Amino acid sequence: MGTRQDWYLYVVECADGTLYTGISTDVPRRIAEHNAGRGARYTASRRPVSLQAAWRFKDRLSAMQAEGIFKRQGRQAKERAIASREDFRDGVRQATG
C-alpha cells in the first residue's frame, strides 16, 4: 500500500495582476518553475508570479475538484478567499509568508 501524498491548490498573482490557479505536491518548486518560465504557458509571459494563497488537500482528486470550484468563482470571490486566510472546501489553509 502506497503512502498518502498531500496535494496543494495554490494561487499566484502574475506581473500583469491576473490570478493563476494550479495544483502541486510541492508549491515552492512549482512557483520557482513558473518564475523560470517553465510553469505554464499562461504564466510564462506574465512573470514574475507571487504566491497569494495555498491550501493542503488529502489527495490529488480533492485538490483538482477544489481548483475547478475556485476557478469558476469571480475575481472578488477569489480575492475574498485569499484575504480570509480560512480553509477552502476541505483544504487547510497554509502559511504563505
What is the pTM for the complete model shown? 0.93
Give me the pLDDT at residue 85, please: 86
Q: Specify whether the CB–CB gap between 69 and 11 falls below 8 A.
A: no
Q: How many CA atoms lie within 13 A of 16 on its CB side?
A: 7
Q: How confident is the model at residue 97 (pLDDT cuts 50, 70, 90)?
A: low
Helix spans in 15-93 (H): 27-35, 41-44, 60-72, 75-84
Average pLDDT for 28-57: 96
Give me the pLDDT at residue 39, please: 85
- Structure-model confidence comparison of residues 57 and 4, the more confident one: 57
Give me the pLDDT at residue 9, please: 98
Q: How far is CA 16 from the centre of its chain?
A: 17
Give me the pLDDT at residue 1, please: 55
Please state the domain extents for the chain.
7-93
- CATH H-level superfamily of 7-93: GIY-YIG endonuclease (3.40.1440.10)
